[in-house]
Structures are given as structure tokens and as C-alpha cells.
Structure 1
Amino acid sequence: MISVLAARVQGAAATAPHGGGQADVLDVLLWVALPYVAIAVFVIGHYWRYRYDKFGWTTRSSQLYEKRLLRIGSPLFHFGILIVLLGHVGGLVIPDTWTEAAGISEHAYHVAAVTLGTAAGFCTLTGLAILIYRRRTVGPVFSATTRNDKLMYAVLTLVIVLGLAATVAANLAGGGYDYRETVSPWFRSVFMLRPDPDLMADVPILFQLHALSAMLLFCIWPFTRLVHMLTAPVGYLTRPYIVYHSRDERLGARAPRRGWERLP
């Protein structure tokens, strides 16, 4: 696998245009080598974390310390980021030819993506700002904040701000930019083991910075509380009741509910 990736990197460097020299090497490093480094750290880091730090695989919830701000910021952030992630999956993974074949014109897709993505992005950023404010101003929550948490919040904020800035600058303030013709094919080429750095050469700088910051986020992801996003409490739905034993001989006047029957 490693030899295949090395061959792909060498092939991308060999086929890159030679007019820029040093700039071409930089493109290969940024848009060929770095994505595979981020993927490797993301996968291996999660394996290592689960293998050697199962008890640390948690969000380290601070709900007991403060609930008012958490009730506002957490839903805004989580629902907003879910819509943002779904939008990225649709825009980066699904080719534009597929949506056109489904009867969705490029204009309709663009309007829906920009409108919904911008709204979801601002909801996510607002929720994150509330959560950071809560973590900074509530004493017990701030005391439980580690340097790892601060780094995670800083990088996460950077990714969201750059994504919103790219969307607003290109589509609302500017004349529009179709990232599905450049960024999306490059993203798919990386996972198809045929990376094409030329696709990212002329992409607007804000989109490039957003992509680079996202790769940085994936590199630190396995070592932060973000690991909880890859687990779901599936066993909670089928786990048995918690059994409580009592020394009180009085059974009470009401019949016990199902699952609360008294044990002998």
C-alpha cells in the first residue's frame, strides 16, 4: 500500500507542469503528500487511541457544571455541523453529472447549497462561540479544559471561519465559484489513488486555506475529544434494565412495572 502511494506521489510530481519549478513541488506536497499524511494519521491515530486509551474515548462532559448555555450552544453547534458535513459529502463525493442526471440543475444545486450551507455554517459558528464562551467564563468548566481542548477549539474555529469566508467571498460577495469542477475532482482523485494537484493550482486562496485547515483538523482529531463523533450508543437500545436490589421488605401498594419486578 505504501509503495503504491509513493508511486502515485512520484507520478504526480513527474506529470506536473514544469513552468513553475519550485511552485510545482509545493503543489505536490500540499495536494498529494499532505492529504495522505492526514489520512494515515487519522486512521492510525484512532486505532492507537482505541487500543491504548479506551477510557479516554469520551467527550468528558461538563453538563454537571453548567446547563443553561450548554442547552443553547450544543444544539446549534451539533445540528449545524451535521448539515455542514452532509453538504460537504454531497458536494465533494457526488459528481455534478450525477445530480444533473437526477434532474437537479447546476443552478438549483448551487443556490440550495450556498443558502443552506451558509445558514448552517453561521449556526455552527454561533454554537461554537457560545460553547467557547461557556468554557472560558464558567470556572469549573474552564478548570477542566486542557491544552488539547484549546488546540482543538482553535483549529475547529479556523476551519469553520475559513469555510464561511470562502463561501461568502466567492458566492455572495463575488461572482460565484464552482468548486465542483476543481476541488471535488481533486478530493475524489486522492481517494482513487490518482491524485491530481493541477486541479488545486488555480483554486481561490480561501478554498485552499479551508482545505489545508481541514487536513490539520483531521491530523489532531484522533487525539482530542472529537473521537466521540465516530462512536454511537447502539448498545443502549438493546441493553438490559439496570437491576436495583433493596432490603426493604415492603413491596408497596402498586404492582411493579415491567422490568422493575422484585427479585427473590
Structure 2
Amino acid sequence: MRPVELLLWIVLPYVAMTVFVVGHVWRYRHDQFGWTTRSTQILESRRLRPAILLFHLGLFAVLGGHVLGVLVPASLTERAGVSEHMYHVVSVTAGTLAGLTMLAGFVLLLARRETDARVRATTTPTDRATYLLLGVMLVTGMYATVGENLLLGGYDYRETVAPWFRGLFTLDPDTSLIAGAPLVYRIHVVAAWLLYALWPFSRLVHAWSIPFGYLGRSNILYRSRRPTALADERARPRTTA
């Protein structure tokens, strides 16, 4: 095993996983007030809504495809009656649609952030690093799905990249499996580990804060600070349906 392979396919994953876990604990203990999306909706909402909808819909579909393709061995899907050809057709079709949806949302979000002066002013260096890694992952993921599978004859990552990844959690990763994968897959994987290491220190922590409380929370009433605002409201003529 060459030193670069040891660094990329063993050291980097374990360091990234450690930083991911420890970083979240540290962030929660020391920066709970910063545990937020740092939303810019109040600055601009018209372009945000469709962009964030496309991005998250595509993201959930992409995550589902990765769980099925990387964590579920090919032997299990074959045992369930799903042939390799059927899996390939479904994964390429669904993966392409999901990737394009997520990519469209990402481009719209990035364009909004860079073209709106007020939104751009809220962007931190950590945000830019997050966008860069997400962009690399999206581009390489789309190329792997469309380019490798449709234009170059296909590549069975379920027999190489997936077993290496699962081997990390059994403490027996076979680096030769990932080292021999096409370059686009290796770039995709490295960008993913770097993003995991950055995650606890970015706005991505909001992924763990699902606001279930909002479903049953009472409405919030906002009133003006002007002393006459309440009197004006009461004096306003009311209409009946």
C-alpha cells in the first residue's frame, strides 16, 4: 500500500468520522446559539423558496440512492429478485433525475447568494468551503452517474467502492478496491469526507434540528413599537364576511 493510498482511503475517513462526531459534541456544548441555518429568508425570499425546495427534494432522493447502492450489498438485492440489469436501469434513471434536481436547486441557491448584495454579505469563509465541496460532489456524482454509466459503458461501484466503504465500519477496509476506481469516484469520495469533517462547524448542523415543535406551537403575534399602533388597529373598521 502506497502512503497516499493509506492517507486517502484509511486515515482521511477515520479522521473525518472522528471530527464529525467530536465536532458536533463540541459545537452543541459551546455554541448552541450558533446551531442554526443562519437563514437569509428575511433578506430575500422570492428566489429562495423554489431553490431550496429543489435542492432538498433532490438531496433526499440522492441520499436514498446512496444508502441502497453503497450500504446494501448486491447479493441482497439479487436475493430480493432485483436483477443487476434492472438495478442498473433504475439507479441510473432515478439517480440522474435526483442529481439534476439537486444540482438545479444548488445552482439557484448559489446564484441567489452571489447576485444579492445583502445575502452575499452574510456569507462566511466556512459557507464558501461548504459550497465548494458540495459543488464538487454534485458535479462528480452527476458525471459518475451519467458519464461513466451511459457514455463510457458503465462501472460497477457496488463491487469496489461500496465494499471498501462498508469495510471501514468493520475495521477491515480493502484500499485496493477504491484505489482502482475511476478518478471521478475517488474525487467524489474525498470531497465527501472533507465535507463530513467540515459539517460540525458549518450551517449544515441544522440537519439534526428538525422543528417538530412548530407543528403544535401557537401563532406568534407581532406588534409595532409605535405607541399609537394598537389604537390605530382598534379604530380600523372591520368587515364581515
Which amino acid in the other structure matches residue 48 of structure 1?
W
- Going from structure 1 to structure 2, the CA distance change for 1:243 and 1:64 (only over 3 Å counts) comes to closer
Match of 2:80 among 77, 82, 102: 102
Residue matched to 2:173: 195
Unmatched tracts of structure 1, length 5 or more: 1-15, 17-23, 251-264
Which amino acid in the other structure matches residue 102 of structure 2?
T
Question: Contact conserved, 2:179 with 2:186, CA < 8 A, in 1?
Answer: no
CA deviation vs aligned residue, 1:83-142 (integer Å, no higher than 9, x gap): 001111111101111111111111111111111111111111111111111111112111
Within 5 Å, which residues of 2 pair with 1:1-150?
A: 16=1, 24-150=2-128
Question: Contact conserved, 1:166 with 1:207, CA < 8 A, in 2?
Answer: yes
Question: Contact conserved, 1:32 with 1:196, CA < 8 A, in 2?
Answer: no
Match of 2:184 among 196, 200, 206: 206
**Runs of at least 4 residues of structure 1 off by over 6 A?**
none
Q: Distance in 2 between matches of 1:128 and 1:62?
A: 15
**Displacement, 1:208?**
0.7
- Going from structure 1 to structure 2, the CA distance change for 1:58 and 1:243 (only over 3 Å counts) comes to closer
**Displacement, 1:242?**
5.9
Length-normalised TM-score, structure 1: 0.80
Q: Distance in 2 between matches of 1:145 and 1:214?
A: 21
Secondary structure of the corresponding residue to residue 106 of structure 2: helix
**Displacement, 1:176?**
0.6
**Displacement, 1:243?**
8.6
Secondary structure of the corresponding residue to residue 45 of structure 1: helix
Is residue 146 of structure 2 the alignment partner of residue 168 of structure 1? Answer: yes
Is residue 221 of structure 2 the alignment partner of residue 232 of structure 1? Answer: no
**Displacement, 1:67?**
1.6
Residue matched to 1:151: 129
Q: Distance in 1 between matches of 2:201 and 2:146?
A: 31
CA deviation vs aligned residue, 1:47-98 (integer Å, no higher than 9, x gap): 1111101010100111111122112211111100110011111111011111
Residue matched to 1:12: none
Which amino acid in the other structure matches residue 149 of structure 1?
D
Aligned positions, number: 225
Which amino acid in the other structure matches residue 202 of structure 1?
G
Q: Distance in 2 between matches of 1:45 and 1:209?
A: 24
Unmatched tracts of structure 2, length 5 or more: 222-229, 235-241
Secondary structure of the corresponding residue to residue 154 of structure 2: coil
- Going from structure 1 to structure 2, the CA distance change for 1:69 and 1:102 (only over 3 Å counts) comes to same
Which amino acid in the other structure matches residue 181 of structure 1?
E
Q: Distance in 1 between matches of 2:201 and 2:45?
A: 26
**Displacement, 1:198?**
1.6
Length-normalised TM-score, structure 2: 0.88
Which amino acid in the other structure matches residue 123 of structure 1?
T
**Displacement, 1:150?**
1.3
**Displacement, 1:25?**
2.5
RMSD: 1.9
Secondary structure of the corresponding residue to residue 67 of structure 1: coil
Q: Distance in 1 between matches of 2:76 and 2:210?
A: 31
Alignment identity in percent?
A: 50
